[in-house]
Amino acid sequence: DDGLTYYTLYQDLDNDGYGNPGVVTVDCTIPPFYSINSLDCDDTNPLMHPGILEILDDGIDNNCDGITDELPLGISLAEDSGITIFPNPTTTGITIQLPTHLQLPLAFHLRNAQGLSVLIGRMETHEQYLSLVTYPAGVYTLHFHNGSVVVVVRQ
C-alpha cells in the first residue's frame, strides 16, 4: 500500500456532494463525480439530498429522510411571525419583509384559492419583491417554511 490512504467512494452523478450507495469503488484519490458518503436518495437530481430543505407539496422527498412533504415541528400565523407583506391588495407585486430572527433561507409557496401551489421560491434575504403580474386576480396565501416552522400568510 506504500503508505497511501484509500477511500471508499460512491458515485455522485449529479455532483451534489452526496453519493449513490449502489455504486461503490475504492481509490487513493477522490475523482470528480464521486463522494466519500453514500447518503444520496436520487443521484440523478442535484436538488434531492440530505442537505436540502424539504419543499412542501411537490410530492418529492427532497431531503432523503424517507418522508415526502413532511410538515415541520410548528405552525404559526403571520400575526405572530413578524412577517410584513405590502401592498395589499395589489395587481403588480408585493414586497415581503422578514424579521431578522427568522433563519434563512426560507422556502415559500404561493397558493391560489383552491390551495394549489402556483409559485415556489426561496427567500435568501430578509426583504424580497415578488412580481404577481402573471397571476390572475384572486385570493392567495403565502406559506413559508424554514425546516422547523411553517408560517401561513392570508392576505
pLDDT at 155: 43
Nearest alpha carbon to residue 20 among 42, 50, 47, 45:
42
Average pLDDT over all residues of the chain = 81
Q: Does residue 35 register a pLDDT over 60?
A: yes
Write down the CATH number for the domain with range 74-154: 2.60.40.3080
State pTM to two decimals.
0.49
Nearest-angstrom CA–CA distance, 101 and 22: 41
- The grid coordinates listed for 9 are 467512494
Least confident of 34-43, 63-72, 129-138: 63-72
Domain residue extents for the chain? 1-52, 74-154
- Residue scoring higher pLDDT (44 or 104): 44
Q: Does residue 70 register a pLDDT over 60?
A: no
pLDDT confidence band for 47 (50 / 70 / 90): confident
